Structure 1
Amino acid sequence: FISYVLKTFVEHGADEDILYVNKPHIGTDVLSRVVISIREEIIRLGGKILYETLVSDFVIKNGAIEAVVTDNGKSFACDHLVLATGHSSRDTYRRLEGLLNMEQKPFAVGLRAVHPQRIIDDNAYGDISEDLRNKLGAAPYKLTYNTSTKRGVYSFCMCPGGYVINASSEKGRLAVNGMSYHDRASGFANSAIIVSVDKDDYEDRGILSGMYFQEEMEERAYKLCDGAIPVSYLSDFKKRKASVLKAGHEETVGKAVKGSYKGADVSAIYPEFINKAICEGMEAFGHKINGFDMDDTLLMGAETRTSAPVRIVRDETFQSNIRGIYPCGEGAGYAGGITSAAVDGIKVALAISSDDVVQ
């Protein structure tokens, strides 16, 4: 299904090179236009998009979905309900608790590491001409490491020539993410450097314990700089001390970040076991990419939303314990990115159409 997904993106405005390059890249600037085109196609085919509309309740009868109720009091009858909420729809998780069978799953949290793109390119391309470098474009990387305590540390959502962005969606909480425009020309590389966590790493507060853990880390990140992105130099992070951005460095940092930022002690966001794992991982990655663990490496947080902290259980027909409800995509715990979520959506659609044929 991956080729079908990529072809669909191209039909709606993405560059054709994503059909044949090894690591397809659409670009956030292009993707926004692709999404608009897909939305318009859905409407043309008879679909409706309801903005600022919250599902507030589910009507269940004889173990099957009968309708959904929205916050404006309207009810929508349905035999099939696809729950493709995304992994940040925490209000929906709260509503589903006790209704749908869910299970905790491992996830990962950490910080965004920012380097001059030149450092990454030097490692990837070596001693080649500037003309050839320009043709090859900004280089990516993928890094993994197991710490001395057997905890996984790895890069995630690496953005060559990209930006760190404030991706917060809730009042009083701060989460960062990364993005690259199509040209990947910011001059900086960033990636999440994340540490694997599971239910034994945080307080047991029920099935949504992982979500509560994420929320607590985001609240700490928000309070550090009153909503601005907290930034530390790696050298200060190792000492667990606040960073003051060096004279003349603020403008440089601004080229790598979208949104407000401020020097801070980002080690205050996480428990010590996560800080230790990040330090150990960064040192190991410095042996793989020269300069990766240099003192001036920038760390920004909190990177908490790499994947859903729960999985909504579904059977071989893709349905939950309530007939007619189909958990789907990242929010349901069955995907980890744009393409894999699209593929999961196709599988759910085929399951629904197959069910209709049988009936």
Structure 2
Amino acid sequence: MQKDIEITLPPHEVANEKAILETLSKNLKVGRDQIKDFKILKRSIDARSRKVVYRMQVRVFINENYLPEEISFKYPKIGDDKKVIIVGAGPAGLFAALQCIENGLKPIVVERGKDVKQRRRDLAAINKQGVVNTESNYCYGEGGAGTYSDGKLYTRSNKRGDINKVLQIFVQHGADDDIMIDARPHIGTNKLPHIITAIRETILEAGGEVLFDSKLTDLIIKDGAVQGIIVNHEQEIAANSVILATGHSARDIYELLNSKNILIEAKPFALGVRIEHPQNVIDQAQYHCDVRSEYLPPAYYSLVEQVKNRGVFSFCMCPGGIIAPCATGLDEIVVNGWSPSKRNNPYANSGTVVQVTLDDVQGYDPLRMLNFQSEIEQLAFEAGGGNLVAPAQRMIDFVENRLSIDLPKNSYLPGTKSVMLDNILPEFVSSSLRSALPLFGRKMKGYYTNDAILVGVESRTSSPVRIPRDKETFQHPQIKGLYPCAEGAGYAGGIVSAAIDGINCADAILKSV
């Protein structure tokens, strides 16, 4: 007999099989000898009361042996007759390629950046020298933005596709199987490169292709249908299906589509700053303690407020994390955050952003939100003075509208400069943050402090452009065979939802052929 049950355990007993068995026996009122095995289905931390516990969904096998499922996705050898071009080797592109192989289609992945290993040199140059390679950086290159900015796998995309399949594929390629049960699964920037490399090897072994330093520079279109693409202004690759999975920072793709009169639309996004606290401040607030238990991970938070009908919210929170310079062009500042798998850095950071609506940026140009975003990033660069030095301000100084005399130590490697962030952020963003931050402090003890630093600007929260597509066929309404995909097209947000959208696009192609 099998029974599913929820149990609670103190943190120090979560990894103790004997304690779990005793709790299961007591709650189910059965003898220990009757429990032949158990399987943890889900695991989460409950810190709502002063006594922090783990909640675990467990499947118990009573007088019945547990036979573990061996879940492994098979990728058969494929031929050359049914080709699909996939533009972008982020999670959407890679998972689209794997699904194409499952469907008997040959993926040809073209990536403007370098392979995941070669990217490291360019990231080092960004952090140490303030030099941006516009084709290889935190956003461009194999694995996409998520590879070197954290690998968080938490998603609410339950209705879009099979989340477990995405997680299982990650496990099959080297991720810790804890991601299958944790409420907020996380791989870590230090582990993701090896996993991404393994996924690429699977694609190649099955007969797919992955081309690096291969930038899409034109689409070949005839009679309203895709015939292929042009790479690096010269190489022509023919195919009747193109998945456009270029990510939300590939601005030249939007400009290419607009120049060819291919329909795109302006889209709302969010804009703000990345806020960093000492991690122990967040631990004390969330776990109601002076010192975090060694059995608890660095604490997480999620905050949201409505200020005059405008949302202000934390975004991409990184416990034990680092603030990273994520510019993709010259003379711009963009910040993001990431954590290693152990989340053992002394700081916690989170994007804290304000909704920007279409009404905030007047006009009819489909690129107007993108241009607005770019202007703010350039102002941030100018305020920092170059070399990717980021403008920053202490939290209470910002709220009380005064220049910070000095700045706290922080994790942003290129360096920070004390400025008035009001001179960079639009007034409606500044005023919304100024109202929201003290309210966040009421929700979370210790949050509202001058030991926290605001670093600008957090601007790449989502795409400022949507590339429309048909709900049923996933194809662009004007161009047959063109499949806008994931974050860059405005249909996903994060690694898992992007991967799911890549899978869905590959399945849509199978139906069409």
Give yes or no for the alignment of 1:342 onto 2:503: no
- Which residue of 2 is the match for residue 116 of structure 1? 278
Give, in angstroms, the shift of residue 263 of structure 1: 2.5
Q: C-alpha distance in 1, partners of 2:218/2:212?
A: 17
Q: Secondary structure at the match of 1:222?
A: helix
Give 2:421's match in structure 1, choosing from 243, 266, 269: 266
- Whether the aligned pair in 2 keeps the contact of 1:138 and 1:184 (CA below 8 Å) is yes
Confirm or deny: 8 A CA contact 1:143 1:285 kept in the other structure: yes
1:330 pairs with 2:330: no
2:313 is equivalent to residue 150 of structure 1: no
Is this contact kept in 1: 2:312–2:436, CA < 8 A?
yes
- Please identify, of 90-99 and 333-342, the stretch whose mean Cα deviation from structure 2 is larger: 90-99
* Percent of aligned pairs with the same amino acid: 40
Whole-angstrom CA distance in 1 between matches of 2:451 and 2:423: 19
Per the alignment, residue 231 of structure 2 pairs with 70
Farther off after superposition, 109-118 or 40-49: 40-49
Question: Are 1:116 and 1:189, in contact at CA under 8 Å, matched by a contact in 2?
Answer: yes
Deviation at 1:45, TM superposition (A): 2.1
Deviations 1:1-31 (A, max 9, x none): 1101011111112111100011101111111
Q: Which residue of 1 aligns with 2:296?
A: 136
1:308-319 to 2 correspondences below 5 Å: 308-315=463-470, 316-319=472-475
Q: C-alpha offsets along residues 151-210 of structure 1, whole Å, 9 cap, x if unaligned?
A: 100000000110111111100111000001000011211100000011111242600111
Whole-Å Cα distance in 1 between the matches of residues 197 and 371 of structure 2? 33
Q: How far does residue 42 in structure 1 lie from its aligned partner after superposition?
A: 1.8
Tell whether 2:326 aligns with 1:167: yes
Q: What secondary structure sits across from 2:169 in the alignment? A: helix
SS at the partner of 2:179? helix
**Corresponding residue for residue 178 of structure 2:** 17
Q: Secondary structure at the match of 1:213?
A: helix
Residue in 2 that maps onto 1:182: 341
Greater displacement, 176-185 / 35-44: 35-44
- Following TM superposition, by how much is the alpha carbon of 1:238 offset from its aligned partner in structure 2, in angstroms? 2.3
Shift of 1:230: 1.9
Name the CA distance, whole Å, in 2 between partners of 1:280 and 1:33: 43
Matching residue of 1:242: 403
Mapped pair 1:195 → 2:354: yes
Q: Which runs of 5+ in 2 are unaligned?
A: 1-161
Which amino acid letter does the alignment assign opposite residue 294 of structure 2?
A: N
1:212 to 360, 366, 371: 371
What is the one-letter code of the residue matched to 2:425?
Answer: Y
> Aligned AA for 2:302?
K
Q: Find the counterpart in structure 2 of residue 81 from structure 1.
A: 242
Whole-angstrom CA distance in 2 between matches of 1:45 and 1:191: 39
Equivalent position SS for 2:489: coil
Contact (CA 8 Å) 1:107, 1:306: kept in 2 or not? yes
One-letter amino acid of the structure 2 residue matched with residue 263 of structure 1: S
Q: Whose Rg is larger?
A: 2
Please state whether the residue corresponding to 1:258 is helix, strand or coil.
coil
Distance 1:242-1:129 versus aligned 2 partners, 3 A rule = closer
Helix, strand or coil at the partner of 1:326: strand
Shift of 1:72: 4.0
Normalising to structure 2: TM-score of the pair? 0.65
For the aligned residue pairs, the C-alpha RMSD in angstroms reads: 1.6
* C-alpha separation in 2, matches of 1:45 and 1:261: 47
AA aligned to 1:108 is A
CA deviation after TM superposition for structure 1 residue 241, in Å: 4.0
Q: Which has the higher contact order (CA 8 A, sep 6+)?
A: 1
Residues in 1 aligned to 2:405 and 2:193: alpha-carbon distance in whole angstroms: 35
Q: C-alpha distance in 2, partners of 1:72/1:200?
A: 37
Aligned CA distance change for structure 1 residues 36 and 259 (closer, same or farther; 3 Å) = farther
Shift of 1:55: 1.4
Whole-Å Cα distance in 2 between the matches of residues 205 and 53 of structure 1? Answer: 32
Give the whole-Å Cα distance in 2 for the aligned partners of 1:165 and 1:76: 35
Instruction: State the TM-score, normalized to the length of structure 1.
Output: 0.93
- How far the C-alpha of 1:239 sits from its partner, in A, is 4.1
The 1-side partners of 2:426 and 2:401 are apart by: 12
How many residue pairs get aligned? The number is 347
Match of 2:194 in 1: 33
> What amino acid does structure 2 have at the position aligned with 1:312?
I
- Give the AA of the match of 2:202: E
Task: Determine the C-alpha separation between the residues in 1 that align with 2:491 and 2:442.
Answer: 34
Alignment partners' CA distance in 2, 1:121 and 1:21: 19
Is 1:279 aligned to 2:431, yes or no?
Answer: no
CA contact (8 A) 2:254 2:264 kept: no
